[in-house]
Amino acid sequence: MIRLGALSVTFLAALVFMSFQSELLAPPLTQKLFELSKPSYIARKGKPWAERSRLLGDLKFAPDTFKLTLKSAGTGKLYKEFSFPGALTVYVTPMITVGSYDLTVSSEGFKPIEIKSLNLKPGADCRINIAFDRED
């Protein structure tokens, strides 16, 4: 039999309460997962990267197929559209000319995701994590 003093019992109770409290006060899991990450940049070196960039990132709740559409931010003119098959956990596009684009991620039965004036920088990959949300 282990004897615990009143102070030890109080300390253990406080630790247990704090662990439950942090979970109770945290936002719902679905709210965290459906947030689109802000673009971050990963530096790349070499001649191919001087005028080009790529989009890449993690995927949550990915559908069977989805499209990434890039349009020129200034004119709205279609630049490129990339299709991705299968339920993936990550995605990577081929090289893209640097510039400012409007990005749309779409799939049938899912809410479209849009990022306006996405700046693709030379010498860097642009990482954007995407979580898909079904349409109601």
- The domain segmentation of the chain, as residue ranges, is 37-131
Q: Which of 43, 55, 75, 57 is nearest to 120 (CA)?
A: 55
Nearest-angstrom CA–CA distance, 90 and 1: 52
Q: Is the pLDDT at 30 greater than 50, yes or no?
A: no
Q: Which pLDDT value is given to residue 9?
A: 44
Nearest-angstrom CA–CA distance, 72 and 78: 6
pLDDT confidence bin for 51, thresholds 50/70/90: very high
Which residue's entry shows tokens 């640097």?
98
pLDDT confidence bin for 2, thresholds 50/70/90: low
Q: Which pLDDT value is given to residue 35?
A: 53
Structure token pair of residue 18: 């704090």
Residues in the chain: 136
Nearest-angstrom CA–CA distance, 133 and 128: 16
Interior/surface letters 125-134, b for 16+ CB within 10 angstroms, e for the rest: bbbbbbbbee
Q: Is the pLDDT at 107 greater than 70, yes or no?
A: yes
Architecture of domain 37-131: Sandwich (2.60)
Give the burial class of 82: count Cβ atoms within 10 A of its Cβ; 0-12 exposed, 13-18 middle, 19 or more buried: middle
Nearest-angstrom CA–CA distance, 128 and 68: 12
At 101, which helix (H) or strand (E)? Answer: strand 99-106
